[in-house]
Chain A
Amino acid sequence: MADDATPIISVVDDDDSLRRSLRNLLGSVGFHAETFPTAEAFLRSIHHEQTACLVLDLRMPGMNGLDLLRHLAATGSRIPAIILTAHGDDVAREQSLQAGAVAFLRKPFDGPALLDAVATALRRQLA
């Protein structure tokens, strides 16, 4: 169902349930979502290059969300990233935004709010 014209939204989260539900949510409005349990899995993936928007969990085993953001910035990537976290403290939010995140949402997040953030990021990306 996904073709080249459809932008790919990559979801990186270590929680199985959340990955599945995010794919449902994004898919329900016609987005093409790819999910990855770890940052490393995402970097290895062929979808890495084609990703139009990144939905990223902050705390993960191995390379965490922030590390991935900094890594992408360092390699010149311009993928907009939306940070999801269950630990919604201000320090984490500040760090995320500084590392180039376009949005910071606390779990449990509102579905339309996430979809709006994704849409905004995609518009910015395409613009």
Chain B
Amino acid sequence: MLGVPFRPAVATGGGPLQRRVAQSAVARYGVAVVSVAVMVVLGLLLRPIVLAAGQLLLLAVLVTGWISGLRPALLAWGLATAAFAYHFTLPLDSVKVDPDQVPRLMIFALVAGFMATMSAARRRAEDLLRSARDELEARVRERTTELGESERRYRHIFDSTGVSIWEEDLSRVKQALDHLQARGVHDVGDYLAGHPEFVEHVIALVKIVDVNDASVALFEAGSKEELVVSLLRIFVPETRAAFRKAMTSLAEGRPFFQGESVVQTLKGQRLTVLFTVTFPRPPASFESVLVTVTDITDRKRAEYLTGHVFETSPDAVYIVGRDYRYQRVNAAFERRWRLPAQRIVGMRVDELAGTEPFEATYKPHLDRCFAGEEASFVGWFPTPAGRQYLAATYSPLRPDSQRVEAALAITRDLTDHARAAEALQQAQAELAHMTRVTTLGEMTASIAHEVNQPLAAIVADANASLNWLASATPDLDRVREALAAIVKDGHRAANVIQRIRQLVTRTVPQKARLDVNDVIRDVVPLIATEVRSHEVSLRLDLAVAVPPVVADRVQLQQVLINLVMNGMEAMTSIADRPRELVIRSRPHEGGQVLLAVEDAGVGIDPSSVSRLFTAFFTTKRDGMGMGLSISRSIIEAHGGRLWATSNARHGATFQFALPALR
């Protein structure tokens, strides 16, 4: 009852005073002395009016307890009790106390003591409460500052980030979905899929609170205001599917949703975006839900293109890691090995392609690739589809470092080409053989003559020898001479047959180092008869020293015979000048050797120059037209060149140049 008027004073003005007083013990005890003194003076002034004024001393105890705590209060109690006994108990202003005044004094002392302890206790409680409140206030201030900072930071991110962020109020959406579930709909996704009109309703319930500048830019809006109108402005039909999934996640209480979808800008440009929604945890409010939108249109397009090229390439494309294991293979590769990609991925190259090809070819090339080089090779390799002629290129892959992480392999199946080339070679060889045989057929009469000539000489010599031996005195010297001639002619016939056999039987080219002059000399006997029967004079103009060439002897002979036969044919109708045929050998420019056959025939018809070397072109009535074509193929197969020129005066020169051996 006494304390009530003081409460506001203590609560407001007392706080700072108490704190100041509490700082010094002198001040704290001083309060007791001063307050008691003040109350004594006040009580003495009021004592003539009312003796009870002495009870004002209780106030001093109360105040001291309030301001200075328990011990000063006890001092105040002592002083007040003494002052009360001296000034306010009868006899007044005396240390004596009337016996009948003793109860009054004791009651005062008891009340004052009680007040001292109560006031001090109360004071302590107030102090504790205050300090607790102060602490709380300080914490609140601190958190407020933190929150402000956090908010400021969030704002900064929201406004300045390159990612499009949408702040959306989904509370009505949440209500609608809760209501739906309350009505007994368990599978919200299923329900949304079956109720497009409800989906549209939910879309309309989304309230866009804010968007950041990145959103304005991404969606080609003029301002935030244009964009926050409605989600419908950026939705296209495909967006609904992703929206339904997001809503299903929300209904199922998932913490977030991430999805890919197509949206449109305000200008109608379609974008492929990745969007993420972070849902608040109940009971937090759905008034501010953040949705981030990342434009992945370019990435998607690049991914699509790369994926499309990878998957639809007719070439087998695969990626091999440094552990020689397949990391990725395309459809063409699956077809080649007749295994699904999931079986191949993880296999080592040798497990699929075989140990031997791996060690011999794949591994060395992969190692070169892992060392940073491009590596290519071609060859025949075993596959489930049979042997395949494969051309492979390995390119180093460095996804995010300098170190090569894998090899990108592109392999093309050239089996058909290789087989075609082989077949062509085979056909050419057969054709070459055939023309050789045909040429020989045309030359049969000459060859017969060539062989029969020495045989006739042999028979004649043998008969002569028999005759000589039959006489009474045989002339053995003549017999010996004849026998020597027989041996020589026998060899001559055998040589011709030997050369013809070479020409007919061999089909596989056998290249060796040889001298073109030897080739010319080999051919001369074979063509001697033809030369005679065409009434041609043959002249050899051979360089003294020509570098050797690497070639197939028989094939070069064949070419030379062809050129000689052509030259002689060209001179058949010539009657007004010598039918001279020159076979010439010369070192040629660029480290080559030239072999030329020059005739004095009718020359080359300008209209047929271009077709001269094509197959089946012939000016002869019974020719096959293969000779020059085959000849050119043969020379080109030797890395050489065969061509024809018209001579200054008469006829033409057919010549070929071959690279000389260094």
How near does chain A come to B104, taking the closest CB pair, in angstroms?
Answer: 183
Q: B343-359: which residues lie under 8 A (CB-CB) from chain A?
A: none
Please tell me if the beta carbons of A28 and B464 are within 8 angstroms of each other in the complex.
yes
Per-residue CB proximity of A1-22 to B under 8 Å, as 1/0? 0000000000000110110111
Residues A24 and B454 in contact in the complex (CB < 8 Å), given A87-B445, A87-B448 = no
A112 proximal to B (CB < 8 A): yes
- Interface residue count on the A side (C-beta < 8 Å): 28
**B464 touching A107 by the CB < 8 A rule?**
no
Docked-complex contact A17 and B489, CB < 8 angstroms: yes
The one of A14, A86, A111 in contact with B460, judged by C-beta atoms closer than 8 angstroms, is A111
Is A29 a contact of B535 with CB atoms below 8 Å? no
With A24-B478, A87-B448, A111-B464 as contacts: A15 and B535 at CB distance below 8 Å: no
User: Please, which residues of chain A bring their CB within 8 A of the CB of B450?
Assistant: 86
A114 touches B460 (CB 8 A): yes
B453 on interface, CB distance cutoff 8 Å: yes
Smallest distance from the beta carbon of B464 to chain A beta carbons, Å?
A: 4
**In the docked arrangement, what's the CA distance between A112 and B488, Å?**
22
**Distance in angstroms between the alpha carbons of A59 and B453 in the assembled complex:** 12
Whether A15 and B453, one on each chain, are in contact in the complex, defined by CB atoms closer than 8 angstroms, is yes
Interface contact A107-B463, CB-CB below 8 Å: no
Q: Is the CB of B452 within 8 A of A25?
A: no
B266 within 8 A of partner (CB) = no
B380 sits at the interface (CB 8 A): no
Query: Contact at B532–A107, with CB atoms within 8 Å?
Result: no
**Min distance, Cβ B28 to any Cβ of chain A, angstroms:** 159
User: What residues of chain B lie closer than 8 Å to A84, measured between beta carbons?
Assistant: 456
A28 touches B468 (CB 8 A): yes
Complex partner residue of B464 from A14, A17, A25, CB under 8 angstroms: A25
B504 in contact (CB, < 8 A)? no
Pairwise interchain contact A108-B459, C-beta atoms closer than 8 A: yes
Q: With the chains together, A21 CA to B485 CA distance in Å?
A: 8
Is B460 touching A24 in the complex (CB atoms < 8 A)? yes
Smallest beta-carbon distance B448→chain A, Å: 6
Nearest CB in chain B to that of A59: its residue? B533
Q: Does A60 contact B (CB under 8 A)?
A: yes
With A21-B458, A107-B455, A111-B459 known to touch, is A61 a contact of B464 (CB < 8 Å)? no
**CA–CA, A114 and B460, complex, Å:** 9
Q: How many inter-chain contacts with C-beta < 8 Å in the A-B complex?
A: 90
Contact between A86 and B464, CB atoms less than 8 A apart: no
Chain B residues with CB below 8 A from A76, complex form: none
Contacts of B458 in A (CB 8 A): 21, 108
Q: Is the CB of B460 within 8 A of A61?
A: no
Nearest chain A CB to B83 CB, angstrom units:
178
Q: Is the CB of A107 within 8 A of B452?
A: yes
CB contact list, B532-552 vs A, under 8 A? 532-533, 535, 537
| B482 CB within 8 Å of chain A | yes
The reply to whether B485 and A17 form a contact with Cβ atoms under 8 Å apart is: yes
B467 at the interface (CB under 8 A from A): yes
**Contact check: which of B445, B466, B492 meets A17 at CB < 8 Å?**
B492
Shortest Cβ distance from B451 into A: residue: A86
- Most chain B CB within 10 A, of A15, A27, A62, A106, is at A15
Residues of A within 8 A of B532 (CB): 14, 59-61
Interface residues of A in 9-61 (CB under 8 A from B): 14-15, 17-18, 20-22, 24-25, 27-29, 59-61
Q: Is B584 among interface residues, defined by CB-CB distance under 8 A?
A: no
In the assembly, what is the distance between CA of A111 and CA of B482, in Å?
14
Contact B459 A17 (CB under 8 A): no
The residue on A at minimum CB distance from B535 is A61
Q: Which residues of A contact B367 (CB under 8 A)?
A: none
Shortest Cβ distance from residue B168 to the other chain A in the assembled complex, whole angstroms? 110
- Kindly state the separation between the CA atoms of A20 and B535 in the bound complex, as whole angstroms: 23
Known: A61-B535, A111-B459. A27 touches B449 (CB 8 A): no
Tell me if B234 is interfacial: C-beta within 8 Å of chain A: no
Which of chain A's residues has its CB closest to B492's CB?
A17
Q: Give the residues in chain B near A108, CB-CB below 8 Å.
A: 452, 455-456, 458-459
CA gap between A86 and B452 in the complex, in Å: 6
> What residues on A are CB-neighbors of B456 within 8 Å?
18, 21, 84, 86, 107-109
B425-464 interface bits toward A, Cβ cutoff 8 Å, 1 = contact, 0 = none:
0000000000000000000010011101111111111111
Best-buried of B458, B460, B532, B537 by chain A (most CB within 10 Å) = B460
Q: Which B residues are in CB contact (< 8 Å) with A90?
A: none
4 tightest A-B CB contacts, nearest first: A111-B463, A28-B467, A107-B456, A86-B449
> Can you list 28 contacts pairing A with B, beta carbon distance less than 8 Å?
A14-B532, A15-B453, A17-B454, A17-B492, A20-B457, A21-B457, A21-B485, A21-B489, A24-B482, A24-B485, A25-B460, A25-B464, A27-B464, A28-B464, A28-B466, A28-B467, A59-B532, A61-B532, A61-B535, A84-B456, A87-B449, A107-B449, A108-B456, A109-B456, A109-B459, A111-B463, A111-B466, A115-B463
A20-B485, A24-B482, A87-B445 are known; give 10 further A-B pairs, CB within 8 A: A17-B489, A21-B461, A24-B478, A59-B533, A60-B532, A84-B456, A86-B450, A111-B464, A114-B460, A115-B463
